[in-house]
Amino acid sequence: MLLKPLSCVLTFLAATMLMNAQVNENDFIQATKDTLATHPDTSKGEFGYKQLIIPGVLIGYGFAALNSKSLDNFDKDVREDLKHNTHTDIDQFTLYAPAAAVYALNAFGVKGKHNFKDRTIVYATAFLLSNLTVKTLKSTTDVTRPNGLVDNSFPSGHTTAAFLGAEFLWQEYKDVSVWYGVAGYTVATATGIMRLTNDRHWVSDIVAGAGIGILSTKAAYWLLDPINNLLFSSKEEKKTAMLLPFYNGNQAGGNFVMRF
């Protein structure tokens, strides 16, 4: 009973990166690049409508489930199969792991697409966009969590943060190795699954959260140049600025530091 609905969830989330994967390693790498890569290049701030397809489908599924009896029943079937599983607190940490990996890799000398300032602007912008979206939707949709405790289930904030970081890791390191992106999306998917097994979210919550996280990061890359132009002039090249956001599951905020 458990395997069928759970496998559906795993398949649905994994499709964001592995839709065309083949058994051969070279084919797998190329297929994954074709699936995740977009033209124009998101990491360079270039916009293309194809970049909206995957997050759009994920977000659309989540909203469709709010008014679909069949999708609602699927949510309940998965919850019924998973509610007796052992709960874990690992998801309180894995939601940050993909984004933290970007900074860890740079610290160990594996250079990504952007310098510290620019990648921090990207991450901070994505963080703020996603949190504004999640907080607004939680307060307006009033979806009760599977455990029945509160009415702020839709969408999943943890899953949003995890997929935001996974897309961030992918965009920064897709030209270094596709496996960084695969690892990031695997951790993000695991985070979403743990939100289900912890009885904190419905399938539709985590699917929508995944879409919001991915789209927020893409939008942050599109906004990088305008933000840089707004905040940093050519005469201020020696200035450095850093915005460090935080989210503990209930509260969000950030610290801004500028050095002259």
The answer to whether residue 223 scores a pLDDT higher than 90 is: yes
Location of structure tokens 């559906």:
8
What is the rounded average pLDDT of the residues 44-55? 91
Picking from 103, 257, 124, 92, the residue whose alpha carbon sits closest to that of residue 190 is 92
The two tokens of residue 48 are 């293309």
Average pLDDT, the chain: 85
The two tokens of residue 182 are 């695969």
The C-alpha atoms of residue 88 and residue 99 are separated, in whole angstroms, by 21
pTM of the entire predicted model: 0.81
- Per-residue pLDDT band at 21 (split at 50, 70, 90): very low
57 CB-near residues (< 8 Å, 6+ apart): 211
Q: How far is CA 168 from the centre of its chain?
A: 8
Q: What is the pLDDT of residue 120?
A: 97
Q: What is the pLDDT of residue 214?
A: 97
Under 8 Å between Cβ of 85 and 197: yes
Rounded to 5 degrees, what angle do the CA atoms 188, 93, 213 make?
A: 35
The two tokens of residue 186 are 């695997």
Choice among 24-33, 92-101, 160-169, 246-255 with the minimum mean pLDDT: 24-33
Q: What is the pLDDT of residue 85?
A: 80
Q: What is the pLDDT of residue 86?
A: 80
HSE-up (13 A, CA, CB side) for residue 227: 19
Task: Give domain limits for the chain.
Answer: 3-231
73 CB-near residues (< 8 Å, 6+ apart): none
Rounded to 5 degrees, what angle do the CA atoms 82, 35, 223 make?
A: 95
The two tokens of residue 226 are 């305008």
| CA separation, residue 230 to residues 58, 113, 224 (Å) | 32, 21, 10
Under 8 Å between Cβ of 157 and 61: no
Under 8 Å between Cβ of 167 and 257: no
The answer to whether residue 91 scores a pLDDT higher than 90 is: yes
